[in-house]
């Protein structure tokens, strides 16, 4: 694999731990939105060279010099290579091996593209439009802010200084070390950072309020919010203050910085970014307004905070060697976010939800013929953005959970400590993590796990059974599972950690073994004829199970009696429908099973899964009109009992998951065109709109959806007005999401135009359009728009920010 620049660096600057001094001055004046900068890099030249290559793009390099220690400055001529995003410095005479300083002075535009060093627009309390300056460097955009070797393995310490207007907040990774007033500006010098990668450097300049606290081990935590909204930072503050010492204890590795700031940015492409000591968030992912934030959003915020703070160790202290190993960062943080949320909020039942949020999503995408392995060779930087996807995040997180179960928490923890301490302030690859966990557990971690990271896909375990006296003989076989076709010719084999449970104790795995052959026979002793055998209890394994009809029938009574735990009920349902989807089982089998659940099921996560299958089937019937009506009637009958149980209004002291369930079930009934539900929703909307009874936040999405589904132009316009005047980003997000369900093509087209207008921030346009693309009418319109206005879209947005968050938000 050619990694171009780092090869080049390694040859010449073997000592990667160089010091970088960056001075930046953003000009935030309304008319000149630029920045000036100076960078000094301390390097060690190992081999004589007359050329040095650095990363730089869209920077105006004004002067470049190299000064050997005790020597004379030598100016360089600079050749920019836009394609490679590099600048090649050529010196008149070769630089001999030495220690020296590379100096750059440069300027750039504070761009509008949400990457590099960019501007973010906000309204001051007096109503004036102003700009802040923000950085977003992951993966390869530090080079847009200063010349550097912009690769995760080229680590350095950073001394950042900023020159800012006197009345602005200015933040960076470290606390301020010194401050000097210069006319109406301030020069802030920040403390030196630990050795770190360029993609984690951050700077924010703007106007913010904050709330603060100190963790029990002395780390200062602040949550910065828009001016006047500091109350909205309190929930994240509480989470962060508790989660930081939780990780310190779990990993037994101290957080090495004196502070951690979390800040809500008005224009932000991703959901959140883990810059060391200065974590940036889109407002939706950080701010909680008690009257307007849903229970679901609060839960997501807790997970997001937990995710980014996990990166402070896993990613920031120990960084992947190269982007091929990105999944290590993202998969791991996606696993650990649930660990800390479970610790803080046991009532969220987050490990159950993990299965719909990560395992089901990972399995779904990885069942595609054109999936990819968790580890992807990255040759050109342009390929990096593509792998921030469900495979890296959710398959990654799911196989880590599978491994955690396989080796147990104690050995997992010991292994993590070993990994973090061995590679701290340095870089690591997947193999290094396996080595540490193998060492701590003395189990064949590397051998088992490499089958899950090196190739795409996962197996379906086909299982049948035969009762012989008081024993049961199970035949298990594996082959790659594909959602669209039989993978007959695919010879892939996995080492599959298999667990089994039986009627004797459905809550405990009675058998654990690793299936490595294509077929294996397992005997279960002392089991009665007719007792069930459940494969994959707890849905820890990243695979599908295809039971014989007889085995499935034996499981049904344990579903209705809820003798089987929720994750097993969910696993059976999701596996059966996946088999239906792939053509391995008749659709009627799936529907029969669903009816069984409808009578007795009361678990939120199981219902969430069931609702998502209703949505998938419903969208299939868009192509079979004659089936649509009967299917919707069937789906309404499935939802009837639970909806009657929950009603519309929250019951005092009800559980967190019942609140989530109510909103989900009402939304499904709206989707299934239930007249009574839609009528009630419209009545409640009217009362909300005229101010007689404000809708609780949890009910707003299903109600907006009901109102918008058959909206006319005036209701659409009303919603646009609500969007414009909404003070909370979450409310805007909700409105635009519901707009995606409008049926009238003319209104859908209007919604696309609205998405492209200045009413919608650039960061949200792509979401609004993709919500519209959820429906059959919408997808054609969105596609037509995109192809017709391709150039405008490219000019306005550059590369579209990835859409992963959508799945994160709604599934
Ligand atoms: N490191 C990512 C942010 C990121 C994503 C930067 C893509 C550049 C490109 C961060 O840790 C992350 O995963 N953010 C998530 C939210 C999180 C709760 C899963 C995101 O932005 O979707
Ligand atoms: Zn992440």
- As a whole number, mean pLDDT of residues 75-86 equals 94
CB-CB neighbours of 630 under 10 Å: 10
Cα–Cα distance list, 67 to 59, 88, 132, 310 (Å): 22, 17, 35, 40
Query: In this structure, are residues 381 and 140 in contact, taking their beta carbons and an 8 Å threshold?
Result: yes
Where b means 16+ CB within 10 Å and e means fewer, 665-704 reads bbbbbbbbbbeebbebbeebbeebeeeeeebbbbbbbbbb
pLDDT, tens digit, 9 for 90 and up, residues 431-466 = 999 999 999 999 999 999 999 999 999 999 999 999
The answer to the question of whether 386 is labelled as a binding residue is no
471 forms beta bridges with 468
Cβ of 314 less than 6 Å from ligand 1: no
Ligand 1: residue of 114, 236, 272 to mutate (most ligand atoms within 8 A of CB) is 272
* Closest to 263 measured CA to CA, from 292, 242, 232: 232
Neighbouring residues of the ion ligand 2, judged by CB less than 5 Å: 330, 333
Secondary structure of 754-809 in HEC code, one letter for each residue: HHHCCCCCHHHHHHHHHHHCCCHHHHHHHHHHHHHCHHHHHHHHCCCCCCHHHHHH
- Report the percent of the chain where pLDDT is more than 90: 89
The pLDDT of residue 776 is 86
Strand (E) or helix (H) holding 86 = strand 86-95
The pLDDT of residue 12 is 37
The pLDDT of residue 796 is 79
Active site includes 10? no
Centre of ligand 1 from the C-alpha of residue 239, in Å: 18
Cβ of 804 less than 6 Å from ligand 1: yes
Secondary structure of 548-612 in HEC code, one letter for each residue: CHHHHHHHHHHHHCCCCCHHHHHHHHHHHHHHHHCCCCCHHHHHHHHHHHHHHCCCHHHHHHHHH
* Closest to 731 measured CA to CA, from 284, 253, 215, 320: 284
Phi-psi region for residue 70, left (φ > 0), alpha (ψ -120 to 50) or beta? left
Query: In this structure, are residues 573 and 603 in contact, taking their beta carbons and an 8 Å threshold?
Result: no
The pLDDT of residue 484 is 87
The answer to the question of whether 511 is labelled as a binding residue is no
For CA atoms 343, 808, 320, 214, the dihedral sign is: negative
Phi-psi region for residue 97, left (φ > 0), alpha (ψ -120 to 50) or beta? beta
- CA-nearest residue for atom 17, ligand 1, is 304
Cβ of 110 less than 6 Å from ligand 1: no
| Distance between first and last Cα of the chain | 37
Helix 430-441 to helix 445-453 angle, to the nearest 10 degrees? 150
To which residue do tokens 């709604």 refer? 810
The pLDDT of residue 125 is 79
Nearest-atom number in ligand 1 for the CA of 330 is: 13
* Closest to 164 measured CA to CA, from 156, 146, 173, 176: 176
Ligand at minimal distance from the CA of 304 is: 1
The pLDDT of residue 383 is 87
Question: What's the DSSP call for residue 630?
Answer: H
The pLDDT of residue 17 is 53
Cβ of 270 less than 6 Å from ligand 1: yes
Nearest-atom number in ligand 1 for the CA of 274 is: 11
Cβ of 274 less than 6 Å from ligand 1: yes
pLDDT, tens digit, 9 for 90 and up, residues 341-372 = 999 999 999 999 999 999 999 999 999 999 99
**How far apart are alpha carbons 630 and 624 in whole angstroms?**
11
- As a whole number, mean pLDDT of residues 177-194 equals 96
Q: Which residues contact 375 (CB under 8 A, 6 or more apart)?
A: 324, 325, 327, 430, 453, 454
* Closest to 50 measured CA to CA, from 77, 25, 29: 77
Confidence at 20, pLDDT banded by 50, 70, 90: confident
**How far apart are alpha carbons 345 and 349 in whole angstroms?**
8
The pLDDT of residue 386 is 86
**Average per-residue pLDDT in the chain?**
94
Q: What is the dihedral of CA 293, 673, 707, 285, to 10 degrees?
A: 20
With H, G, I as helix, E, B as strand and everything else as coil, classify residue 33. coil
Residue 206: pLDDT above 60? yes
The pLDDT of residue 806 is 42
Tokens of 463: 């299982």
* Closest to 270 measured CA to CA, from 280, 260, 259: 280
Ligand 1: residue of 388, 389, 800, 810 to mutate (most ligand atoms within 8 A of CB) is 388
Cβ of 601 less than 6 Å from ligand 1: no
* Closest to 233 measured CA to CA, from 243, 220, 244, 224: 224
Query: In this structure, are residues 747 and 718 in contact, taking their beta carbons and an 8 Å threshold?
Result: no
Residue 811: pLDDT above 50? no
Residue 11: pLDDT above 50? no
Angle, CA of 396, 400 and 404, to the nearest 5°: 170
The answer to the question of whether 729 is labelled as a binding residue is no
The pLDDT of residue 21 is 77
**How far apart are alpha carbons 240 and 215 in whole angstroms?**
9
Ligand at minimal distance from the CA of 286 is: 1
Cβ of 114 less than 6 Å from ligand 1: no
- 183 phi, psi to nearest 5 deg: 65, -130
Query: Distance from CA of residue 700 to its chain's centroid?
Result: 24
Centre of ligand 2 from the C-alpha of residue 386, in Å: 14
Centre of ligand 1 from the C-alpha of residue 384, in Å: 13
Phi-psi region for residue 83, left (φ > 0), alpha (ψ -120 to 50) or beta? alpha
The pLDDT of residue 14 is 39
Cα–Cα distance list, 297 to 208, 422, 809 (Å): 22, 37, 8
Residue 800: pLDDT above 60? no
Query: Distance from CA of residue 207 to its chain's centroid?
Result: 27
Centre of ligand 2 from the C-alpha of residue 426, in Å: 18
**How far apart are alpha carbons 749 and 379 in whole angstroms?**
39
Query: In this structure, are residues 566 and 507 in contact, taking their beta carbons and an 8 Å threshold?
Result: no
- As a whole number, mean pLDDT of residues 648-669 equals 98
Q: Which residues contact 784 (CB under 8 A, 6 or more apart)?
A: none
Cβ of 389 less than 6 Å from ligand 1: no
Cβ of 308 less than 6 Å from ligand 1: yes
To which residue do tokens 């006197």 refer? 166
With H, G, I as helix, E, B as strand and everything else as coil, classify residue 465. strand
- As a whole number, mean pLDDT of residues 683-707 equals 97
Centre of ligand 2 from the C-alpha of residue 388, in Å: 9
Confidence at 18, pLDDT banded by 50, 70, 90: low
Query: Looking at 65, 151, 308, 337, which residue is catalytic?
Result: 308
- CA-nearest residue for atom 10, ligand 1, is 273
* One-character DSSP codes across 284-349: GGT---TTT--HHHHHHHHHHHHHHHHHTTBTTTEEESSGGGHHHHHHHHHHHHHHHHHHH-GGG-
Cβ of 138 less than 6 Å from ligand 1: yes
Centre of ligand 1 from the C-alpha of residue 380, in Å: 20
Residue 546: pLDDT above 80? yes
With H, G, I as helix, E, B as strand and everything else as coil, classify residue 17. coil
67: Cα within 13 Å, side-chain hemisphere? 13
Cα–Cα distance list, 172 to 203, 205, 276, 277, 567 (Å): 4, 9, 9, 8, 43
The pLDDT of residue 799 is 56
Nearest-atom number in ligand 1 for the CA of 303 is: 18
Centre of ligand 1 from the C-alpha of residue 532, in Å: 42
* Closest to 320 measured CA to CA, from 186, 440, 426: 426
- CA-nearest residue for atom 1, ligand 1, is 273
């Amino acid at each position: 694999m050619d990694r171009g620049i780092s090869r080049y660096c390694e040859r010449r600057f073997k000592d990667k731990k160089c010091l970088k001094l960056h001075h930046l001055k953003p000009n935030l004046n309304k008319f000149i939105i630029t920045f000036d900068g100076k960078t000094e890099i301390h390097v060690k030249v190992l081999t004589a060279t007359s050329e040095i290559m650095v990363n730089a793009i869209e920077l105006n390099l004004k002067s470049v010099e190299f000064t050997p220690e005790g020597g004379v400055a030598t100016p360089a001529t600079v050749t920019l290579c836009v394609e490679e995003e590099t600048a090649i410095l050529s010196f008149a005479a070769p630089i001999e091996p030495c220690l020296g300083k590379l100096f750059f002075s440069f300027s750039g535009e504070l761009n509008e593209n949400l990457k590099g060093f960019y501007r973010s627009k906000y309204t001051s309390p007096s109503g004036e439009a102003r700009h802040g300056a923000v950085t977003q460097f992951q993966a390869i955009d530090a080079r847009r802010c200063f010349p550097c070797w912009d690769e995760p393995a080229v680590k350095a310490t950073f001394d950042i200084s900023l020159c800012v207007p006197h009345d602005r907040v200015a933040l960076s990774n470290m606390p301020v070390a010194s401050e000097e007033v210069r006319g109406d500006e301030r020069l802030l010098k920040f403390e030196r950072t630990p050795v770190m990668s360029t993609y984690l450097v951050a700077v924010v300049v703007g106007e913010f309020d904050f709330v603060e606290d100190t963790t029990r081990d002395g780390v200062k935590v602040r949550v910065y919010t828009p001016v006047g909204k500091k109350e909205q930072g309190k929930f994240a503050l509480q989470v962060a203050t508790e989660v930081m010492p939780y990780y310190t204890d779990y990993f037994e590795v101290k957080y090495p910085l004196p502070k951690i700031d979390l800040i809500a940015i008005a224009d932000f492409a991703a959901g959140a970014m883990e810059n060391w000591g200065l974590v940036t968030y889109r407002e939706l992912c950080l701010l909680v307004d008690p009257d307007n934030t849903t229970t679901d959003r609060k839960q997501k915020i807790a997970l997001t905070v937990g995710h980014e703070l996990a990166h402070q160790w896993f990613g920031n202290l120990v960084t992947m060697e190269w982007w091929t190993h990105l999944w290590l960062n993202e998969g791991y943080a996606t696993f650990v976010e649930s660990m800390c949320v479970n610790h803080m909020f046991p009532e969220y039942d987050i490990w159950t939800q993990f299965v719909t949020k990560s395992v089901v999503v990972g399995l779904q995408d990885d069942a595609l013929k054109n999936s990819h392995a968790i580890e992807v060779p990255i040759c050109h930087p342009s390929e990096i953005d593509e792998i921030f996807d469900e495979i890296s995040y959710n398959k990654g997180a799911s196989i880590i959970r599978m491994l955690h179960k396989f080796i147990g928490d104690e050995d997992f923890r010991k292994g993590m400590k070993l990994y973090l301490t061995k590679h701290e302030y340095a870089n690591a690859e997947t193999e290094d993590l396996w080595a540490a966990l193998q060492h701590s557990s003395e189990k064949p971690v590397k051998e088992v796990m490499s089958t899950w990271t090196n190739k795409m896909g996962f197996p379906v375990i086909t299982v049948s059974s035969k009762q012989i006296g008081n024993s049961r003989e199970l035949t298990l076989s594996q082959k790659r599972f594909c959602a669209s076709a039989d993978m007959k010719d695919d010879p892939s084999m996995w080492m599959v950690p298999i667990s089994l449970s039986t009627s004797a104790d459905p809550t405990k795995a009675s058998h654990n073994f690793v299936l490595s052959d294509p077929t294996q026979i397992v005997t279960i002793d002392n089991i009665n004829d007719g007792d069930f055998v459940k494969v994959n209890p707890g849905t820890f394994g990243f695979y599908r199970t295809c039971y014989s009809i007889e085995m499935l029938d034996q499981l049904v009574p344990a579903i209705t009696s809820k003798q089987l735990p929720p994750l097993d009920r969910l696993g059976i349902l999701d596996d059966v429908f996946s088999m239906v989807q792939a053509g391995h089982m008749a659709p009627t089998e799936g529907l029969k099973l669903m009816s069984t659940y409808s009578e007795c099921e009361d678990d939120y996560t199981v219902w969430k899964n069931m609702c998502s299958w209703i949505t998938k089937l419903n969208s299939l019937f868009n192509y079979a009109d004659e089936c649509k009506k009967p299917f919707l009637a069937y789906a309404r009958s499935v939802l009837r009992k639970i909806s009657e149980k929950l009603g519309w209004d929250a019951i005092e002291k009800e559980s967190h998951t019942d609140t989530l369930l109510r909103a989900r079930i009402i939304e499904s009934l709206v989707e299934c065109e239930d007249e009574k539900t839609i009528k009630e929703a419209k009545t409640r909307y009217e009362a909300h709109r005229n101010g007689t009874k404000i809708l609780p936040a949890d009910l707003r999405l299903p109600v907006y959806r009901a109102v918008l589904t058959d909206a006319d132009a005036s209701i659409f316009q009303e919603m646009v007005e609500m969007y414009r005047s909404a003070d909370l980003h979450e409310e805007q997000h909700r409105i635009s999401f519901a707009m995606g369900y409008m049926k009238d093509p003319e209104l859908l087209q209007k919604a696309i135009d609205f998405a492209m207008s200045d009413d919608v921030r650039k960061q949200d346009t792509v979401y609004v359009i993709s919500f519209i693309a959820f429906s059959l009418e919408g997808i054609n319109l969105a596609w037509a728009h995109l192809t017709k206005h391709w150039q405008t879209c490219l000019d306005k947005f550059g590369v579209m920010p990835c859409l992963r968050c959508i799945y994160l938000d709604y599934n």
